[in-house]
Structure 1
């Protein structure tokens, strides 16, 4: 559990510190005018501790199942490319898991008891990343042992490095998605090389609205299922313009008209 707490604290704390140190840059890329309160921060941190507990339990369960041979992963020597390919495979699987469980949690049956707590953070902060009810925490934490169980039954053994890469990428992307400030550079949504990778604005629109943008790492599922916010790219361009342009418009509104 120490490991699960540490990675949450490091990732969320690092993002919070980054936004504080570079606050001028961050203010110019703030997505919402509304701001999180101290009460919001307290609620997020306290509920995140509960989530860390359930992640810790699933980590211990995964290790226990690996000891008895039910779940298989390799810690011996292996080529780096294999770990990278495997990490990518886990991310693709997790993106699908997140999209469909997330949509399910927005159903009338599940939203209030399972997911409403997370949406109390209408203006997300880096600490929103793990602000879940205990049920949602179990759903989120269940992915890794279930994925390893299924792949082990299919005869695949993932490397320890692939699992470690996924774990850190997952929490890093999570705090980025909840930063409240657009982290990605201008032009991100206008390039075929990057527009399929979701941005902070993409998930922030989900928190401020709730009926669109259910994806996590990528925009694919939202586009395939018709759930992407119709103004997503427009909203992204509005906050992700280069700082010098945003300053010019603020200082000389007439020239921007």
Structure 2
């Protein structure tokens, strides 16, 4: 016979742990980047992508909905752990090699980039957008706190990647390592926050370099928020290039932002012009 009070206590304890983990990732990543933008304010001012500024109500909405998203993400984390308990998901916690962690991390990132592109593009369909994705696009001018600002429906579709991926790899006969999943989750939130900084973090020439030009910049995702129906990718530009959904002025806008210098900013301010924001 199941001891219901003990089972409930176990569920509550594990649930609180995963909620804490998801909220911690969000607040650490968004908080540290926010502090960095304040500390390096002069540099950040030159590298701002949009003229618009997020208002206080935007920050309030983003943080509130992100707390809600963290709870939904925690539920899917708990679901994944439950699937492991019943043997449907293979997850190795104790033994692993660095090589195994490395290739599994790369596999998970590449798979998530593909999942995100097609899921994201589907949410922009006119029959789904208002119900699922409109809430996220209320942040026309993204901030680090926009990263988890989703409606409940979008949060569910975002979060489903982990259990679906784990079920797929387990069905194929190999177990993911706990460290690879842990590193992936941190990579995901850091890249997500970078995409919503509102300030171009990457250096001039990045988009024109064949070795790194396929790696998404802040401008890439910022254009998605400001223009709407282009640049659906999360980590890489591959899918947008292959499917013809990359913003036609992406590289031009990136070059424009990264070309700004302190001297040019001072000259414009002294001439009476407003500093580009």
Asked if Structure 1 and Structure 2 have the same fold, meaning a TM-score greater than 0.5 normalized by the shorter chain, the answer is yes
Query: What residue is the counterpart of 2:76 in the other structure?
Result: 58
The answer for unaligned runs of 5 or more in structure 1 is none
Please identify runs of 4+ aligned residues in structure 1 that moved more than 3 A: 242-253
Secondary structure of the structure 1 residue equivalent to 2:141: coil
TM superposition shift of 1:241: 2.3
Q: Would the aligned equivalents of 1:123 and 1:180 in 2 still touch at CA under 8 Å?
A: yes
Q: Would the aligned equivalents of 2:46 and 2:260 in 1 still touch at CA under 8 Å?
A: no
Secondary structure of the structure 2 residue equivalent to 1:130: coil
Task: Return the match for 2:141 from 109, 123, 136.
Answer: 123
Counterparts of residues 1-257 of structure 1 (less than 5 Å)? 1-241=19-259, 243-244=261-262, 246-247=264-265, 250=268
**Partner deviation per Cα, 1:187-207 (whole Å, 9 max, x = no partner):** 100100110000000000000
Distance 1:118 1:60 in 2: 25
Distance 2:97 2:262 in 1: 45
**Partner deviation per Cα, 1:54-103 (whole Å, 9 max, x = no partner):** 00001111111112211011112222121011101000000001000000
TM superposition shift of 1:243: 3.3
CA shift in 2, pair 1:249/1:95, >3 Å: farther
CA shift in 2, pair 1:74/1:251, >3 Å: same
Distance 1:193 1:81 in 2: 23
Q: CA RMSD in A?
A: 1.4
Compare CA radii of gyration and give the structure with the larger one: 2
Distance 1:26 1:139 in 2: 33
CA shift in 2, pair 1:148/1:183, >3 Å: same
CA shift in 2, pair 1:139/1:246, >3 Å: farther
TM superposition shift of 1:240: 1.3
TM superposition shift of 1:150: 1.0
Aligned residues: 253
Q: Would the aligned equivalents of 1:36 and 1:125 in 2 still touch at CA under 8 Å?
A: yes
Distance 1:138 1:246 in 2: 45
